[in-house]
Amino acid sequence: MPQHFDMVLKGGRIFDGTGNPSYVADIGITESRIARIGYIEEDASEIADVRGFAVSPGFIDLHNHSDHTILPFPDAENYIMQGVTTSLGGNCGISMAPLSADFCKLTRDYLSPFLHPGYEYGWDWKNTGEFSRKIQENGTTQNVGFLIGHGTLRIAVKGFDRGACSPEEMRKMRALLDEAMEEGAFGLSAGLIYSPGSYASEEELSELTARIGKIGGFFALHMRNESDQLIESVEEAVRITEKSGAALHISHLKAGGRPNWGKVHGALAVMDEARARGMNVTCDAYPYNAGMTTITALLPPWTLEGGVNALLSRLGDPDSRETIIRDLREGAVGFENWLRNIGCSNVGIAACPSARRYEGMTLQEIAREKSPEFHEGFLNWLIEVECNATMVLFSLYEDDVDFVISHPLSCVVSDGWITSPKAGGKPHPRGYGTFPRFLARYVREKRLLSLEEAVRKITSLPASIMCLKDRGMIREGFRADLVVFDPAKIRDKATFEEPHQFPEGIHSVVVNGRKVVSGGCLTGARPGNVLIKGEYSLESS
């Protein structure tokens, strides 16, 4: 009996996500799944002629901060227009849950640089399950999953206290982690340059990753240092995880600052050795030579003990101020000193909600307005804007980016968040351009890897790290998350000067069997689901 399909994509070249050679075939979609791959003669409610186009699984962004802004921007247009059909939030130790009654205010301070200013979040969830349901009810165009951030977890138990965790505090953290994993989190993330993540010892992290090893999931780590201590930091990551049985995923692998350029080779060699011993180690990278983060990452970690208000009073106190400036000038143990590594002219302000005029200026230009002495000017400005700003750091070496991106262990990711042209500011262009840029610049122009291999790095590789059961490949029975693009024309348009620009060369995007981009434009459909580890999604579980 002839089968009826809801949609047939006719005659596209299939890049199935595995890295296997591409081929031409039709794809028949019924409801949310790929029903058939081959030559399809039967009727369909919608037939799209995609001859001459590539058809790949929807791109999966394993390193994303979408959880912070998905409530105000459920359409995720900056990602959907790139072909990203699934993103994983909660990276770098920074997740929206859990929220404890004791320290909710501190968690909100911790998250505030990443949130959309002016949006009323409500803060009416306590854990990952409640947060997931809120997202699902609000509607989402993309599929989204979450990691539990170690920083958020630690604040929920201990606030911004710097001390080691007591056995009772460790027990509480383990219980909250177990609860989050039961509610469908994909693993644990940590950000060891951010307070309070930076206060954690190796033992604390080992104990938590051991839980992950037992119950499944992976450990995504923004390492303690990505510049002069890069190799030592990869070794620490391996030590933390090796005995636990958890898969280790090193986030945004890079070597920041000119004296450290080239160290990514040594870093990947340490990872290759760990793999040879049997460890499951992977990493990710974004296709740009600049990173982005919150402005307080420039300060020594001790300054953030007690949260942002405590930091602001230290910035105003002459004695603490003197110590801060000394640490900034001379460095301190355990402090990744970006200002010293790359210089203030290589730090650009991305967003500064309280004073938009600073957006796009370098820190050097801003500090000069405030004082003839750079550090005095910088700290005065921090007080003025209450430390609420994000920055772009131009710190990476092109050859390093090429090397990491083309290494078989790396996924290509954005490390961005959901935004919109309406949101303004100067966010890192990766939020709009990562995936088209990877395919245009690194595959088509530089020819560093084949299109098949490139598609694998943004589909089946991240899907396998997340243990997704039915996404990341074009297979009969898998979810119909698909991107149709022109390999000769796909390119990013977003720049540091003009970041809010959609890419070119993407014909259509399908999420769970429904078109979300058609003819290069958003359709407005919101077929996305919150993904639950071990289940298919919140909707189908």
Q: What is the 3-state secondary structure (H, E, C) of 260-326?
A: HCCHHHHHHHHHHHHHHCCCCEEEEECCCCEEEEEHHHHCCHHHHCCCHHHHHHHHHCHHHHHHHHH
Task: Choose the stretch contacting Zn ion; rule: CB under 5 A; options: 1-9, 40-48, 90-98, 447-455.
Answer: 90-98
Closest Cα partner for 293 from 43, 478, 541, 63?
A: 63
128 neighbors 180 (Cβ within 8 angstroms): yes
Using CB under 5 A as the binding criterion, the count of chain residues that bind Zn ion stands at 2
Using the contact rule CB under 5 A, the part of the chain among 87-95, 231-239, 464-472, 492-500 near Zn ion is 87-95
Taking the least distance from each CB to Zn ion, the nearer of 92 and 96 is 92
Helix-helix angle 202-215:150-158, to 10 degrees: 110
- With respect to Zn ion, which residue has the nearer C-beta, 40 or 230? 230
Window 373 to 402, contacts with Zn ion (CB under 5 A): none
Measure the CA angle with vertex 510, ends 506 and 514; round to 5°. 140
163-222 residues near Zn ion, rule: CB under 5 A: 222
Nearer to Zn ion, 32 or 91 (CB): 91
Q: How far is CA 306 from CA 110, 303, 360, in A?
A: 11, 9, 30
CA 252 to chain centroid, in Å, comes to 9
Shortest Cβ distance from residue 223 to Zn ion (Å)? 9
Q: Are 478 and 470 in contact (CB under 8 A)?
A: yes
* Nearest residue (CB) to Zn ion, 94 versus 510: 94
Closest CB to Zn ion among 381 and 417? 417
- Which tokens hold the place of 442? 């690194």
Pairing of strands 390-394, 347-351: antiparallel
Is residue 224 near Zn ion by the rule CB under 5 A?
no
- CA–CA distance, 213 with 248 (Å, rounded to integer): 10
> What stretch of H or E contains 450?
none
What is the closest distance, in whole angstroms, from the C-beta atom of residue 249 to Zn ion in the complex?
A: 12
Binding mask 258-287 for Zn ion (x = CB under 5 A): ------------------------------
22 and 12 Cβ atoms separated by less than 8 Å? no
Residue number with CB closer to Zn ion (44 or 153): 153
Least CB distance to Zn ion at residue 440 (A): 25
Segment interacting with Zn ion, rule: CB under 5 A, options 84-92, 208-216, 365-373, 467-475? 84-92
Q: In terms of CB distance, is 94 or 455 closer to Zn ion?
A: 94
Q: Which residues contact 94 (CB under 8 A, 6 or more apart)?
A: 65, 68, 110, 111, 114, 149, 151, 152, 189, 191, 194
Contact stretch for Zn ion (CB under 5 A) within 91-99, 204-212, 356-364, 435-443: 91-99
User: Which of 270, 285 has the CB closer to Zn ion?
Assistant: 285
Minimum distance, C-beta of residue 363 to Zn ion, in the bound complex (Å): 20
Of the candidates 110, 482, 52, the one whose C-alpha atom is nearest the C-alpha of residue 309 is: 110
The residue among 93 and 213 lying less far from Zn ion, judged by its C-beta, is 93
CA atoms of 525 and 141, how far apart (whole Å): 7
Closest to Zn ion by CB, 151 or 528: 151
Return the number of the residue (85 or 189) whose C-beta is nearest Zn ion. 189
Judged by CB, which is closer to Zn ion: 194, or 381? 194
156 with 107: CB under 8 angstroms? yes
- In the complex, minimum distance from the CB of residue 254 to Zn ion, in angstroms, rounded to a whole number: 10
CB of 167 to Zn ion, least distance (A): 29
Dist. CA 451–CA 117, nearest whole Å: 39
Identify the residue whose tokens are 């002495």.
Answer: 373
In the list 27, 81, 92, 94, the residue contacting Zn ion (rule: CB under 5 A) is 92
CA 154-296-89 angle, 5° bins: 55
Q: How far is the CB of 295 from Zn ion (least distance, A)?
A: 15
- Helix, coil or strand: residue 514: strand
Provide the minimum distance between the beta carbon of 392 and Zn ion in the complex, in angstroms, as a whole number: 14
Nearest CA to 82 out of 525, 515, 531, 507 is that of 507
**Three-state DSSP state, 448:** coil
Of 538, 532, 539, the closest CA to residue 186 belongs to 532
User: In angstroms, what is the minimal distance from the CB of 113 to Zn ion?
Assistant: 13
Binding footprint of Zn ion on the chain (CB under 5 A): 92, 222
